[in-house]
Structure 1
Amino acid sequence: MQKIRNIAIIAHVDHGKTTLVDKILHACSIFRDNEQTGDLILDNNDLERERGITIVSKNVSVQYKDVKINIIDTPGHADFGGEVERVLKMADGVLLLCDAFEGAMPQTRFVTQKALALGLKPIVVVNKVDKENCRPEEVYEQIFELFFNLEATEDQLDFPVIYGSSKQGWMSTDWKVPTTDIFALLDTVVSTIPPAPTNDGTLQMQITSLDYSSFVGRIAIGRVHRGAIKENQPVTLIKRDGKVVKTRVKELYTFEGLGKIRTTEVKSGDICAVVGIDGFDIGDTIADFDAPEQLPVIKIDEPTMNMLFTINNSPFFGKEGKFVTSQRLRERLYKEMEKNLALKVIETESPDSYLVYGRGILHLSVLIETMRREGYEIQVGQPQVIVKEIDGQKCEPIETLIVDVPGEVAGKVIELVTQRKGELLVMEPKGDLQHLEFEIPSRGIIGLRNNVLTATAGEAIMAHRFKAYEPWKGTIPGRLNGVLVSMDKGNTTAYSIDKLQDRGRFFVDPGVDVYEGQIMGEHIRDNDLVVNIVKGKALTNMRASGTDDNTRIAPAIKFSLEEAMEYIQADEYIEITPLSMRLRKIYLTENERKINSKKFQ
């Protein structure tokens, strides 16, 4: 029997996965006593730390009572489901984390379904039992019901439950009896999760993840499914489409703690990193040199949304970014496709524009934000859902939307969702909140979050997941108000903004460079209005009799990238550079907009 356990940690976003991994790393003493580690050790890129979410799955390994436990920390957000689907292939069991108050959320259902379908053994961890209003017993019942509805096997339904608080660093089999450590969880992992199977025979290993090093290039990561892989061994790389490439393993690493250590041989069941194989993609199989056999290719759910990515052609192009050409944009998008399986890039009729398909607004915005930080200047269009024809009927993606909201504003939320063709399915109390469940077209969710948060004074908790393709639900009203568009190029003045405040709310401050066709703010009516925002006060050599008017300007509205993506309409772009984000019309002059207005109706 091998003393290896491979587990993936899955949960809805913000239920405490990465915090739990921190505590496991500390409990297994992989750090020196005087080492400064900080929190959320595995969320190691800037975007993950700023947003407080996991975007890319990570592998770590700990030693506990002479057993090696390989842990895979997965993202919790539905938009990164593609990341979860492929790494579950490396695991033999899953730790399903659940918040003791929130219970099973939409994303919990999504990843649990994938894990149960792969036949993985689950352990349920009811986390955050130190919270007020927590209801661990109810959550346990809810999880059991979820497993039953997802057609879990009898063995999977007989899952152990651990209660505790990752933040306070304790786990116990009884939530009323707190302990001082998390060893109850590690003991359960060792006793419940089946040991990694040893399959004798010729080599088979599927690449489920990749790493990059500036010294050795791309590194293939996966679990050895059968046989053993050795350093300097000649192997066959079988591509997803069945093409065969002869190659050789140069170096071999296994995971230990947060890093990797070099080794000469890895047997089946263990997770390893292979250096020296060129031209591989995720889902390819590394097989025996003489008698290669392919493993089943990883199937990833289809994307549900696309956006147009194009080069920056605004009057301010090239001022802030390093990479501004279409060649650079193309290279970067195709490079992203290698590791981001849920992403698809399609070339358009224009050599400067590409249609990028993704899982949702967050999935695409993380790509845009990463490119911006790398020095790219790009423009993106309005997100569009992907429409399919099924049995001769026009169909669109439908999502399950869950909103937890204070009771007194539940009516406003129901009104907003039903305006966008949403259908209320469930309404029940949950603690001091109302729990609402809807079915709504994906189109209806674009731009909904801002409206719901405004209507509920920021108190709504929203989550959604893709359900299925269903017949087209009809037209959904877009943005209710028009925009204020600049008619001239120059510096914005406080004088102009002050005089135009009764026309709408502004997105720019005084003293900012703007160009003709840039969107300055939101109009109070439903039509667009062209305004002169760069005009200064006419000065004379006469002394003013009495005091001049003091300008009092309302603070400018600042959008986040996701909010801007949800805000723009079909005839608008977001211009994104390393230092700025601007909203603009596709056609900058008023005359061009009138000529091309029919295109966007």
Structure 2
Amino acid sequence: MDQTKIRNIAIIAHVDHGKTTLVDQLFKQSGMFRQNQVVEERLMDSMDLEKERGITISSKNGSFHYRDHLVNIIDTPGHADFGGQVERVLQMADGALLLVDAAEGPMPQTYFVLKKALAAKLPIIVVVNKIDKPAARPDWAVDEVFDLFVKLDAPDDLLDFPICYASAKNGFATLDYNETSENMIPLMDFIIDKIPHPQGDPTASLQLLVSSISYSSYLGRLGIGKITSGTLNINDQIVVMRENEAPVPARITNLYHFVGNKKEDIQSASIGQIVAVAGMDTITVGMTYTDAQNPMPLRAVELDPPTISMTFTANDSPFHGQEGKFVTSRQLRERLHREILSDVALVVEDLQDAQGYKVSGRGELHLSILIEKMRREGYEFQVTRPQVIFKTINGQRQEPYEELTIDVDEEFSGNVISNLGNRKGILLEMNTNNGLTRLKYKIPTRGLLGFRGELMTETKGTGVMNYIFAEYGDYVGPMKNRKRGTLVSAEQCKATAYALSSLQDRGKFFIKPGDNVYEGQILGEHCRDNDLAVNPGKGKKLTNVRAAGSDDAAVVEPPTIMELDRCISFINDDEMIEITPESIRLRKILLKENERRRAKKMA
């Protein structure tokens, strides 16, 4: 294909600023679908978790034709925890669309993705989205974006960025936000006219850096990337290698390009095309497909290091093996090592002093998505509380810090500031506009563990928080985030309404009558700061003497529903989460009360 007729663009933005919706509209208005064809929303969100949460978790490839050009689109995640996906897929792009919400302006993740795009020297089109919002302020959003470019030391030629205004939800784009439009043509014209075509020599040695991995039940692992040099044909004998490593021979068995959000067979591909290649079962992100006669591997992008870790172990609770399909330590290890082949921001290490695996990632959400995926696949295992990854720099202990942005109603800002002060947060900026307060903090990553749930409680569910890794800084000392203890089962039994009803004044329960529990399982949150062992299976003593009021039914309040994210935020260092396909239980690491007391004395 003529490389001058190809445009490769990445869609980058903060979470929930409309990337996937914009891609839907570009696909629909390019004439890709029949007029009477039923098209689902959020075409590029292929995972169930993405559709349930309304966020993009893994990057996707798609394409459409416009004005005799092929436009390849790379939809990237918007959450900072999945920044590793953004860093590596930007290598496939020759330009980027930076989406900014017209009301919110640039957010922490906007800073992160723009920094990566500028480091790759990509020309950028700024799209101010959601101009149909009542609170939209497009001029202010553009000024904020310009300030962000300057803050990131963007070269002068990129400071004069083209601007397009859009409402992806309503399907239109315009060059003047005071005028509405009927379609996305102004933006599609911008893409063709402002984004350069891919550069490279089609007669040189083949070079294709694998930036993403896909799976096929028939063909195994597929390496996805952009051809930056040479051509690629079916049945070519090539080599696969990393920089400074020995080449491994391979043969191209199948070749695909992207049409819409699907893959189609092709016989050959050349400069600038983004393709999926089959023929190498051990292919991983960062490898290069190159000529066997003249191998020239490309350098893989260096990723930011993980900042948080959890320990994964096989389930050893009294209920182990009852609900899961994959329950052994070996199966757990295989699954974790399979994940790091496609998620390069994840690190898995075997524990030296115990059975289990240390899994490190970018944040709580990054690891919770992995846990949820494994749970749905039938895995049964346990995880510990997230721990931040410390470093020693110049003999000083250092810990990771995050840049935190919070939007809350003005009436709740005092409580939030007080809470963050206790978590060692440093207030950088505070702005109030129309009753809404925006707080910017620099805070240790440890201070954010468990904070999201407290923010929702303090702001009655209206607070919005976003954070991004800032830097490593000085260790700020011990920090206690959870203020209350737990209610722990003293024996294995079936919970009764009579017992739970009589214990309700001791705290909030996570279980309901009829649930099976075991000794050492966490049943709820204590109203005080210590742990309390209770008997949830206690039954009512039956006699043949009847008295007024003795037959009143036990009234039990509905339990607090503990979802996975909430469990990860809740647990302490001496607690674990038991994950099965059907249940999520909280437990103490030491199940017996006398063992816990002994460990506390020795601590």
Q: Please, which of 543, 564, 567 is the counterpart of residue 561 of structure 1?
A: 564
Counterpart CA distance in 2 for 1:432 and 1:36 is: 42
2:111 is paired with a residue whose SS is helix
Divergent runs of 4+, >4 A: none
AA matched with 1:68: L
Identity score, percent: 49
Letter in 1 for 2:347: K
Alpha-carbon distance between aligned partners in 2 of 1:597 and 1:478, rounded to the nearest angstrom: 19
1:512 to 512, 515, 533: 515
- CA–CA distance in 2 between the matches of 1:430 and 1:21? 32
- Tell me, yes or no, if the aligned pair for 2:8 and 2:92 is still in contact at 8 Å: yes
SS of 2:4's partner is coil
Per the alignment, residue 290 of structure 2 pairs with 287
Partner of 2:331: 328
CA contact (8 A) 1:78 1:465 kept: yes
SS at match of 1:500: helix
Count of matched residue positions in the alignment of Structure 1 and Structure 2: 600
In the superposition, relative to structure 1, how do residues 135 and 530 fare at CA in structure 2: closer, same or farther (>3 Å)? same
Gaps of 5+ in 1: none
For the 8 Å contact 1:240–1:283, the answer to whether it is kept is: no
Q: CA deviation at 1:594?
A: 1.5
Partner of 2:167: 165
Number of the residue aligned with 1:394:
397
**Does structure 2 retain, via aligned residues, the 8 Å contact 1:4–1:196?**
yes
Amino acid at match of 1:168: N
- Indicate the residue corresponding to 1:132 in structure 2: 134
Q: CA shift at 1:108, angstroms?
A: 0.5
Q: Where do 1:173-572 residues align within 5 Å?
A: 173-200=175-202, 201-239=204-242, 242-349=245-352, 352-546=355-549, 548-572=551-575
Q: Deviations over 1:274-300 (max 9, x none)?
A: 111231210011111111011112211
Q: CA deviation at 1:79?
A: 0.3
Tell me the SS of whatever aligns to 1:48: helix
1:278 counterpart letter in structure 2: D
CA offset digits 1:137-186 (Å, max 9, x no partner): 00000001101111111221111111120000000001110101011000
Task: Measure the CA separation in 2 of the matches of 1:419 and 1:546.
Answer: 48
Q: Deviations over 1:242-300 (max 9, x none)?
A: 22112111121111122222222211111111111231210011111111011112211
The answer to which of 568-577 and 447-456 deviates more is 447-456
* Structure 2: distance between partners of 1:464 and 1:586: 30
Q: Tell me which moved more, 509-518 or 422-431.
A: 422-431
1:133 touches 1:431 (CA, 8 Å); kept in 2? no
| Larger CA deviation: 571-580 vs 27-36 | 27-36
| Aligned counterparts of 1:425 and 1:349: Cα–Cα separation in 2 | 41
Pairing partner for 1:61 from 63, 66, 73: 63
Which shifted more, 246-255 or 330-339? Answer: 246-255
CA contact (8 A) 1:504 1:522 kept: yes
Contact 2:449 2:481 in 1 (8 A): no
Q: Is the 8 Å Cα contact of residues 243 and 298 (structure 2) preserved in structure 1?
A: no
Q: Which amino acid in the other structure matches residue 129 of structure 1?
A: I
Q: Which amino acid aligns with 2:233?
A: K
Taking structure 2 as the reference length, the TM-score comes to 0.98
Structure 1 residue 550: Cα displacement: 3.3
Does the CA-based 8 Å contact 1:12-1:98 persist in structure 2? yes
**Alignment partners' CA distance in 1, 2:243 and 2:494:** 54
Shift of 1:349: 2.9
Asked whether the equivalents of residues 222 and 283 of structure 2 are also in contact (C-alpha less than 8 Å), the reply is: no
Partners of 1:239 and 1:281 within 8 A in 2: no
Q: Which amino acid aligns with 2:240?
A: L
User: By how many angstroms is 1:241 displaced?
Assistant: 5.0
C-alpha change, 1:241 and 1:533, in structure 2 (3 Å) is farther
Map of 2:7 onto structure 1:
5
Q: Which amino acid in structure 2 is aligned with residue 186 of structure 1? A: M
Kindly report the root-mean-square deviation, in angstroms, between the aligned alpha carbons of the 2 structures.
Answer: 1.2
Instruction: Name the SS for the 2:83 alignment partner.
Output: helix
Matched residues in 2 for 1:169 and 1:488: separation? 59
Q: Distance in 2 between matches of 1:273 and 1:209?
A: 9
